[in-house]
Structure 1
């Protein structure tokens, strides 16, 4: 009987096990993030600041990168928000602290969510930006939660 129960549990769990998240760690800036299932990396950028991931079948993109602060973390966040607005994204959400910021917006049928974190050296930051179709909003909520939960500095 135990064997039968174990076999049934293995069969039920197999699809879930195939949905493991990947992981990306950036050595240049010292941050890490988990990568959702179905997102394929395009290789680290030539300057080593991050990577792009695509889920082509669902028209979803994830960009992760690090950068040096030219002024303060708060100013970098303000500059990124201004840039998104200048690209005609309607900003619908924003929240921030001195150590992290999140904002999102919509343009036509596309939605983006961006999160930025201050890194341990106080002279750099890391960010991710997830972009997807508006029809995927409900299913992407858990993806955003997983990204936010796993996104952190690694060199503190």
Structure 2
């Protein structure tokens, strides 16, 4: 029994995804949103204009978290334009869901996976995260995406915020 407990404890320390809560909070005062950054990601750059930040992990994964102004509250159009831009960059988008309050899409390019999430903020602007990671780590990152989706939200509550939904599946 004692050895089983030691084995379980070593698994939780060896695999950061399963480790006790070592997520890092990220808050953006310019757009008034927050998100959680998974274990193992380090801040590599903050944007000059204060809209967000870039984080990277040792396995080559990259996480962009940023806010953006949305013209005339056209959240769906803004998200669809971002999907077009990602397609033009070579991403094959295999899943997309756009609602009035949130959007998610995912795809693949070469040996990498892209997952993007957006939420409407209180003032009609939007917060986004884009996670790119190696396809070989798909299962580990799928476990992270759900928590990241739930964590991306306005910092202060607002009544016009639509409820969030579970993430879509990443491509295999």
In structure 2, C-alpha distance between the alignment counterparts of 1:84 and 1:144, rounded to whole Å: 19
1:109-128 mapped onto 2 (5 Å cutoff): 109-122=111-124, 124-128=125-129
1:30-69 mapped onto 2 (5 Å cutoff): 30-55=32-57, 57-69=58-70
In structure 2, C-alpha distance between the alignment counterparts of 1:51 and 1:137, rounded to whole Å: 23
Which runs of no fewer than 5 residues in structure 2 stay unpaired?
Answer: 14-18, 158-172
SS in 2 for 1:79: helix
Q: Does residue 100 of the first structure (1) align with residue 77 of the second (2)?
A: no
In structure 2, C-alpha distance between the alignment counterparts of 1:88 and 1:37, rounded to whole Å: 28
The residue number in structure 1 matching 2:168 is none
Aligned counterpart for 1:75 among listed residues 64, 67, 77: 77
Which runs of no fewer than 5 residues in structure 1 stay unpaired?
Answer: none
The residue number in structure 1 matching 2:166 is none
TM value normalised by structure 1:
0.86
Structure with max Cα Rg: 1
The residue number in structure 1 matching 2:164 is none
Give the alignment's Cα RMSD to 1 decimal: 1.9
The residue number in structure 2 matching 1:151 is 152
Deviation at 1:42, TM superposition (A): 2.0
TM value normalised by structure 2:
0.79
Count of aligned pairs: 146
Deviation at 1:155, TM superposition (A): 2.6
Larger proportion of strand: 1
In structure 2, C-alpha distance between the alignment counterparts of 1:136 and 1:107, rounded to whole Å: 14
Runs of 4+ in 1 over 4 A off after TM superposition: none
SS in 2 for 1:12: helix
Deviation at 1:97, TM superposition (A): 1.2
SS in 1 for 2:71: coil
Deviation at 1:137, TM superposition (A): 0.5
